[in-house]
Structure formats: C-alpha cells, structure tokens
Structure 1
C-alpha cells in the first residue's frame, strides 16, 4: 500500500493506493476514513487500483482554513483532484452514504471522469415526503450536541435514523481497528455539526444524471429503514432501478470479500 498527501484549497487530503488495474475511488460518509474502506480495497486490489482517502476535516485530512458548514460540491472537487492526481483516465467510483451524495455531484458536473458510479444508500432526506421532520431532527441533534455533547446527540440522531454510533475501541480488537474507531469517534462531532444539515438537504441533479453511468444500490440488511427509503426516493428522482448489495449500511466493512464480489459484477471490465 502506498500513502500520500494532496494539498487542496482549505485542506490537506490523506490517501492510500492499493492494487493494479483500472482506478477505483472510494468515498465514504459520516465519520469514516480510509481505514474503514481498507478491507474492501484489499479484496478489490487484484482487479483495480483502489484509492481510499480521509475526507477533508476527518482523521488525517486536516482543514487548513476555518471550520465551517461543509458543502457537497467542495467535497466533490476534492474527489476530482484526487482522480486528476492519480493520472488515470475515467475511474470507477464506489461511494456510500454521504459519500454517495458527493459522488452524485461529481458525476453530474464531471461525467468525463467516471466510468461508472455505484452509489450506495445516499441519504438525500430532502426527497422524502417527511423531509421537514428530518431537517428538524438534524437541527435538534446539533442543538443537543452544543448543550450536552456528542454522545447524547448521536444517540438521538441514531435512534430515529436507525444508524448506530461507532463502538468504543475494545482492547481485544486488532490495533488497526482500535486506531480506526478512535479516529472515527473523534470525527463524529465535526460530521454532525457541519455536515448533517447541509448534506441532508442536497438533491442530486436529475437532468445532469439522465443516462449517466450510474448504479444506485442499497443494502439487503437495511430494507424498510430510513436509509432504504431515501435510496428509493433517489431512485425515483433519477428514474433508475436500484439494486441490492450484501449486508447493511456497512456491509462493505462487515463482509468485504462478499461485498467486493457483488460490487465487481456492477463494474464492467
């Protein structure tokens, strides 16, 4: 595995590169970082040059400007700069949760850079019939975070959205997992305070994405949950038929080999 740093406006991006073959960029959401995509990247590395990274403001990608409300298009520009730095032609992209929103914006504005995007469970809550409720929840979680801290805020947000906060690092876990969990827990406050509201309000550009090389996917283990409803809403908005991938919202981490096999079937050689 090779690692590097890429200077971008307002941040310094940490990235990792594994494998050989066509470029495949992964974009994670929430507090996730490159290590969270590491097992999937290893499983794909025999077939692709897999690029994983920490998004701006998370883990080893510090902001070099002031902390402020994050914008999808700025994160999409970061992904574009990573692809350009890789020096490859059009790349495959696997993106999940808020990373999928970022990738949808990247595909809409720079279709020439993407061979095919697999967008996994994009949380475009503003497309839901009860969008006002989820906007209020995001604001309430931010308010709770300011008053009581990130723990109570994440519990409130997680109870309604069906997503669990990362567990505390257990001494019995492998060192790389403990380190990853420590970083992700530290990332959660920034994600909640500066991403949840603006990212949840993002609506993909249906006109720009018409006939785009796009696969919209949800986890088999999230049927009926909020994130599945959001995926179906995006599918209707973009007039595409969603597919299922193994596992739940972190199936790529829980069962990376199985997930990689299913993902490869969606990426034509």
Structure 2
C-alpha cells in the first residue's frame, strides 16, 4: 500500500512542481503559486500531508528518497504523456528536487534548487553540518514537546538530520542552483556554490535570504519563469 499523495494544483500551462522547505508544509507559498499560475500548472507537493490534516499525527524519520519518489508519483498523475515538468525546491525541498532529478531525469525539463543544505560537500562538511544542527536544534536547547505539533517541530525531529547528510552524485545540464543575495557569507550560500560546482551547474542569486521565496514572491515568480520559459514573456 502506498502513501496518499498530498498536493494542490492551480493554474494552466506547463507543469511546475514546487517542493517546500522545512517539513514540506507549503505555508506562505500562496503569493508565489498565484503568480506562477499565470503561466504554469503549479503542483505544490506536501510530502507529509501537514497541510492536509496530518499535522500533529505521528511522523517517522524521513528520507530524501521518500520525498522524491512521492513527487515522482505525483508527476506521473498530472503530467501529460511524453511531457516533462519543471521543478523548484528550496532548502530541504531543494534536496528533494535534486534527488528527483537524479532518479527520474526523463520526467524533468529543468530544476532550480535554492540553498539545498548539502553541507557534507564542503571541505569541512562534517563539522559544518554539526554546527548547523546545533544552531537549529542543539545543544542545551530543551527538547520540544509534541515534536509533531508544528511544522518546525517535525523538521527538527525528523527531517534536519537525514536530509543534511544527503550528498548529490550526478551531473546534468538541466539544473540551476540558487542562493539568496542576503545569504552571502553564510553557510548555505557557500553550500549552494559548492553544489553548483560539484554538479557543474549554473549558480545564480535570488533576492533575500534563505526564506526569500516567502519574502519576494514577485521576484521569484519572474526569475523562475525566465529560467524555465525564457523569451516567452
């Protein structure tokens, strides 16, 4: 028996898959999806169903492959035969779309991964990963009560550690890696550059920082549209 595929669809046009960050809850993405829906069929995947009635229910330790294979099953449902989708993911969602591209390249036309926290690629990756984990969830921080009661609780308890241990191992000409301009000098900006170099992919800057997708929906919609459908404005 397979898990239910929680997702929302808005708009018309080529299929664009959105993979939210954190625990995959799409909160705050409404302004972006509304703008993208003018040019795309926007499919927002909620891998844990947190926005579809499952917030507060037990959550298992997450795996990148679980998210990417779920996204692939969604695409198999919504993609017309013979067509490819575009995909955008930020943070943990950025890792998921990278894995999706590695596993199912034939279903994707182009992917933008924004600040995927693949910190193990850095020369001192093990130490930097632990610093990231400690900064978000550790040491001395009291354990969260009811870790599935909030999206952040789910992220800290079940997503952060397995996802930051994931390392991409492929090359492609259908990937763009992005980082926020306000993230310059920070760990995840350095990591994004490293991912781009490692995968021999273009590196671009988007407005804002790690949560720029929430703070600058107009700019993100324009940049994504220009990347996926250049010259069609």
Question: What TM-score does the superposition give when structure 1 sets the normalisation length?
Answer: 0.75
The question of 1:136 aligning with 2:130 is answered yes
Change over 3 Å in CA distance of 1:86–1:223 after alignment to 2: same
The correspondence of residues 104-119 of structure 1 with structure 2, limited to 5 A, is 104-119=98-113
Change over 3 Å in CA distance of 1:262–1:143 after alignment to 2: closer
1:96-134 Cα deviation digits (max 9, x unpaired):
111111111110110111011011111001111222223
More helix by share: 1
CA distance in structure 2 between the aligned counterparts of 1:48 and 1:123, rounded to whole angstroms:
27
How far has the Cα of 1:149 moved from its partner? Answer: 2.7
The correspondence of residues 202-241 of structure 1 with structure 2, limited to 5 A, is 202-206=166-170, 210-241=171-202
Of residues 75, 80, 85, the one that matches 1:91 is: 85
CA contact (8 A) 1:111 1:212 kept: no
**Runs of 4 or more consecutive aligned structure 1 residues displaced over 4 Å after TM superposition:** 139-145
The gaps in structure 2 that reach 5 residues or longer are none
| Match in the other structure for 2:209 | 248
Root-mean-square deviation (Å): 2.7
Equivalent residue pairs, number: 225
How far has the Cα of 1:34 moved from its partner? Answer: 2.5
The correspondence of residues 63-212 of structure 1 with structure 2, limited to 5 A, is 67-88=59-80, 89-137=83-131, 138=133, 148-150=142-144, 186-206=150-170, 210-212=171-173
Question: What TM-score does the superposition give when structure 2 sets the normalisation length?
Answer: 0.86
CA distance in structure 1 between the aligned counterparts of 2:157 and 2:130, rounded to whole angstroms:
14
| Match in the other structure for 2:46 | 54
